[in-house]
Amino acid sequence: MGFKLLLIIVVVITGVLLFVSYKESTALKAQGDLLLQQNKPQEALLYYEEAKNIFPLRQDVNDDISSVNLLMNSQTEYSQIVDQEYAESQTIPLLQNIVPAALKNGEYFVPILMYHHIRINPMPASPLWASLNVDPNLLDSELNYLHTNDFHIITLGDLIKIMNGQEKLPKNPVILTFDDGYEDFYTNAFPLLQKYKMKATEFVITQVETAPAYLSWDQIVALDKSGLVEIAAHTQHHPFLTDLNATLIDKEIMGSKSDIESHLGHTVNWFAYPYGAYNNFIVSETQKAGFTGAVSTIYGAVQSKDKLFLMPRIAADGRFTLDEFIKRIR
């Protein structure tokens, strides 16, 4: 009699646990469905995978995962999804509307330039792609100008030392950053950094190694060993972090840091918010993950300690003339 009662209790508890798990899995699937309807397959996939982890027996969720993977793999490049609508685009003020910065105590005028693709634009009719694609010849002209006009290329780490009083701010400081870890950084930008002996930070997405548009881990390791390129984190899948729940946000932020550190064998200090999307929770989780700071897509060049996790940048727009590029960093 006692054994039967125990068996009944076990069955009831198991049923309750399964019901709770199924209900939680259903809520995650619903969120994934909504994101897929909004044409956000990367974010939807994260929710579907989490729903599967909680309740592995759901065939409908397995079908959702297969469908999203098919959709994403149908693209010739993963970047066609990443770049398609948003990317780290920026509202760039007109030159006549830019007011010279009146620096307060503890503030520094240090333009952090934000680049994406370094290649000839494959879609010149698209304003977004025109902004995100910088012709290698234009980048060469920009770096040559910096090299020959008494600008000093510093790193994000140098900026921290300057803020802490460990180093002096050089004349005309500029920081170079590149987002997303595109393969054309290795083929088109890196040789120019070598040519001018300039350092840069490359923010990589860590779970896109099978996509041809992106750097391989071998290339990332080679860049790291060059001494010219600091590898930094840009999440695992480049989702809108603001569309994710707390668990998935942590996975994307902490997972990208762990991915890079496991390949490079040393600490990763810097983070970039995909699409420039953030909120107070995301900033807090980035701090908790152990990053030294994070860059944003907020337009500006005034840096300070209280902005270490929302450092403003200036997009190096592919439509800029060299003259406009110069005026924006002065």
Sequence ranges of the domains in the chain:
2-74, 80-328
- Give 23-63 pLDDT, tens digit per residue: 888 888 888 888 877 878 778 888 888 888 887 877 778 76
In percent, the amount of the chain with pLDDT more than 70 equals 87
Structure tokens at 135: 């012709």
User: One digit per residue, pLDDT tens: the chain, 330 residues?
Assistant: 566 666 666 565 656 566 667 788 888 888 888 887 787 877 888 888 888 888 787 777 876 786 677 556 544 344 444 444 445 777 787 887 787 778 999 999 999 999 999 999 988 888 888 999 999 999 999 999 999 999 999 999 999 999 999 999 999 999 999 999 999 999 999 999 999 999 999 999 999 877 788 999 999 999 999 999 999 999 999 999 999 999 999 999 999 999 999 999 999 999 999 999 999 999 999 999 999 999 999 999 999 999 999 999 999 999 999 999 999 998
**How far is the C-alpha of 73 from the C-alpha of 215, rounded, in Å?**
17
CATH code of the domain occupying 2-74: 1.25.40
Please answer whether residues 276 and 297 qualify as being in contact, where contact means their C-beta atoms are separated by less than 8 angstroms: yes
Which residue is associated with the tokens 């902490």? 254
Looking at the chain, which runs of residues are DSSP E strands? 107-109, 112-115, 117-118, 133-134, 152-153, 173-180, 200-204, 229-233, 270-272, 293-299, 302-304, 311-315
- Give 1-34 pLDDT, tens digit per residue: 566 666 666 565 656 566 667 788 888 888 888 8
The C-alpha R_g of the chain, in whole angstroms, comes to 23
- Average pLDDT score, the chain: 88
Considering only the top CATH level, what class is 80-328?
alpha beta
Reduced to 3 states (helix: H, G, I; strand: E, B; else coil), residue 169 is: coil
pLDDT value, residue 203: 98
CATH fold match for the domains 2-74 and 80-328: no
Structure tokens at 117: 């693709």
Please answer whether residues 314 and 114 qualify as being in contact, where contact means their C-beta atoms are separated by less than 8 angstroms: yes
3-state helix, strand, coil in the chain (%, to 5): 50, 15, 35
**How far is the C-alpha of 191 from the C-alpha of 209, rounded, in Å?**
22
Nearest partner of 86 among 124, 117, 129, judged by Cα: 129
Structure tokens at 280: 């107070």
